[in-house]
C-alpha cells in the first residue's frame, strides 16, 4: 500500500480484517519492520485518540515518531496558490510540505473541512497536496470528507461484538451545538456499504449526506422504524451538506439524542460513537455508561486500525 485515504485502499475488507486480527493478536511481531523509519504526524486540528493511538501503533512497529501541530508553534501556512503573501501567514504549504517530506518516511495528516466552501472541502486539497509534494506515502488521520482509520476501527469493533452474521447497523444523526464535518458519517457509510450488513441511516430532513457515500443504504426518517431491531446504534452529529446550507447547523433537535427509550426499541443494540462525545446532547449518561456501550473498546481498536495500515505502508517501502 502506498497511500491510505479511503476504504478503497484496503479492499477486499475480509483481507483487511484478517490483517487486523494478526496485528491485534501479536502487536509486537513486526518491531523490525519500522526500525530506522520515521513517522511524521501533522495536525491542522485537535486530537486525542488519533494522536495517541497512531503514535502507539508506530511505536509497536519499532518506528520513530515526530508530531507537528501546525497551529501551535509552527509557522502559519498559506494554502492557496497565487496569493500575494502580505497577510499573517509567513510560509506557503508548497514549500512546507516538501520540507516535511525530507524529515520522515511516512506522513499522517489531519486536515478537517473548513465548512465554508463545499467544492474546496470535497476536493481534499490539503491531503492531495501532501500526496503530490511530499514524496512520501501519506495516510489520512481525518481529512475533509473521510476518517478512514476511525471507520476501520469501527468495523473491527462491530466484527468483534456482532451476535448475528448480518447485523442491522443504524447510523443516526444526533444534536450538537457546533458545525461539525461530514467526514465521520461519510466514511462510516462508505465502509458499511462494503459489508453485507443491513445498513440504515437516519437523520432529520435537511441533513442528507452526499449520495456518493450513502450509495444503496436505506435512509429512514422515522426514528422508531430506524431503531427497531437494530444491533448497533452508531451516533454522530454532522452539519448540513446540501447546497446553500453547506456547513450549517440547521437545528439541534433534542428528539434525536440517543436515550434509553430509543435503545429499548432495538435488538439489545450496542452503542457506538467515535468520541469526543457531548453527553446529554448526542447520548444520555445512562446509555453511554451502560454495558451496551462500546465507546472504549472502539477507541482501543484505533491502535489496531492504525497499526494495520502502517504495517502495510511499511511493507510497501521494502
What are the residues binding ligand AN0 (CB under 6 A)?
A: 180-181, 183-184, 274, 276
Q: At closest approach, how far in Å is the CB of 224 from ligand CP? A: 29
* Binding footprint of ligand CP on the chain (CB under 6 A): 47-50, 142, 150, 274-276
> Between 150 and 307, whose beta carbon lies closer to ligand CP?
150
Residue 199 forms beta bridges with which residues?
169
Residue 279 forms beta bridges with which residues?
283
Residue 216: burial class (beta carbons within 10 Å; 0-12, 13-18, 19+): exposed
> Between 233 and 314, whose beta carbon lies closer to ligand AN0?
233
SS3 230: coil
Q: At closest approach, how far in Å is the CB of 45 from ligand AN0? A: 7
Could you tell me the CA-to-CA distances from 57 to 69, 240, 260 in Å, in that order? 19, 34, 35
- The interface partner of residue 48, options being ligand AN0, ligand CP, none and the CB cut-off 5 to 8 Å by kind, is ligand CP
Q: What DSSP character marks residue 293?
A: B
> Between 104 and 171, whose beta carbon lies closer to ligand AN0?
171
- The interface partner of residue 242, options being ligand CP, ligand AN0, none and the CB cut-off 5 to 8 Å by kind, is none
> Between 274 and 303, whose beta carbon lies closer to ligand AN0?
274
Q: Which residue is nearest to ligand AN0 (CB)?
A: 180
- Give the span between the Cα atoms of 140 and 173, in whole angstroms: 23
122 neighbors 144 (Cβ within 8 angstroms) = yes
Q: At closest approach, how far in Å is the CB of 310 from ligand CP? A: 16
> Between 115 and 226, whose beta carbon lies closer to ligand CP?
115
Could you tell me the CA-to-CA distances from 220 to 199, 202, 204, 226 in Å, in that order? 11, 5, 9, 6
10 neighbors 154 (Cβ within 8 angstroms) = no
> Between 45 and 64, whose beta carbon lies closer to ligand AN0?
45
Q: At closest approach, how far in Å is the CB of 165 from ligand CP? A: 27
Q: At closest approach, how far in Å is the CB of 216 from ligand AN0? A: 24
Give the number of residues written for the chain: 318
SS3 292: coil
- Give the span between the Cα atoms of 166 and 232, in whole angstroms: 11
Q: What are phi and psi of 314, to 5 degrees?
A: -60, -40
Which one, of 193, 182, 180, 171, lies nearest residue 271 by Cα?
Answer: 171
- The interface partner of residue 267, options being ligand CP, ligand AN0, none and the CB cut-off 5 to 8 Å by kind, is none
- The interface partner of residue 183, options being ligand AN0, ligand CP, none and the CB cut-off 5 to 8 Å by kind, is ligand AN0
> Between 59 and 153, whose beta carbon lies closer to ligand AN0?
153
- The interface partner of residue 181, options being ligand CP, ligand AN0, none and the CB cut-off 5 to 8 Å by kind, is ligand AN0
Q: At closest approach, how far in Å is the CB of 117 from ligand AN0? A: 17
> Between 181 and 247, whose beta carbon lies closer to ligand AN0?
181
Q: How many CB atoms are located within 10 Å of the residue 24 CB?
A: 17
Q: At closest approach, how far in Å is the CB of 242 from ligand AN0? A: 18
Rg (CA), the chain: 20
Q: At closest approach, how far in Å is the CB of 275 from ligand CP? A: 5
Amino acid at each position: 500500500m502506498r497511500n491510505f485515504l479511503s476504504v478503497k485502499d484496503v479492499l477486499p475488507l475480509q483481507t483487511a480484517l484478517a490483517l487486523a486480527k494478526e496485528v491485534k493478536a501479536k502487536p509486537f511481531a513486526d518491531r523490525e519492520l519500522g526500525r530506522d523509519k520515521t513517522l511524521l504526524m501533522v495536525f491542522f486540528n485537535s486530537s486525542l485518540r488519533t494522536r495517541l493511538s497512531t503514535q502507539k501503533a508506530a511505536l509497536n512497529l519499532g518506528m520513530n515518531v515526530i508530531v507537528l501541530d501546525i497551529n501551535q508553534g509552527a509557522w502559519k501556512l498559506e494554502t492557496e496558490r497565487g496569493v500575494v503573501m502580505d497577510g499573517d501567514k509567513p510560509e506557503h504549504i508548497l514549500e512546507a510540505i516538501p520540507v516535511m517530506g525530507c524529515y520522515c518516511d511516512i506522513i499522517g495528516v489531519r486536515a478537517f473541512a473548513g465548512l465554508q466552501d463545499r467544492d474546496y472541502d470535497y476536493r481534499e486539497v490539503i491531503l492531495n497536496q501532501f500526496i503530490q509534494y511530499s514524496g512520501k506515502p501519506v495516510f489520512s488521520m481525518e481529512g475533509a470528507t473521510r476518517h478512514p482509520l476511525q471507520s476501520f476501527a469501527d468495523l473491527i469493533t462491530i466484527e468483534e461484538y456482532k451476535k448475528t452474521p448480518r447485523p442491522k447497523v443504524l447510523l443516526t444523526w444526533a444534536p450538537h451545538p457546533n458545525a461539525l464535518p461530514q467526514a465521520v458519517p461519510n466514511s462510516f457509510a462508505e465502509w458499511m456499504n462494503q459489508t453485507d450488513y443491513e445498513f440504515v441511516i437516519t437523520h432529520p430532513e435537511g441533513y442528507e449526506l452526499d449520495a456518493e457515500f450513502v450509495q444503496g443504504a436505506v435512509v429512514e426518517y422515522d426514528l422508531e422504524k430506524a431503531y427497531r431491531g437494530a444491533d448497533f446504534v452508531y451516533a454522530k452529529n454532522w452539519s448540513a451538506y446540501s447546497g446553500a446550507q453547506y456547513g450549517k447547523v440547521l437545528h439541534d433537535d433534542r428528539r434525536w439524542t440517543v436515550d434509553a427509550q430509543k435503545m429499548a426499541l432495538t435488538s439489545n443494540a450496542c452503542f457506538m460513537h467515535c468520541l469526543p462525545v457531548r453527553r446529554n446532547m448526542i447520548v444520555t449518561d445512562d446509555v453511554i455508561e451502560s454495558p451496551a456501550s462500546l465507546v472504549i473498546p472502539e477507541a482501543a481498536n484505533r491502535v489496531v486500525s492504525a497499526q494495520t495500515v502502517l504495517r502495510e505502508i511499511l511493507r510497501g517501502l521494502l
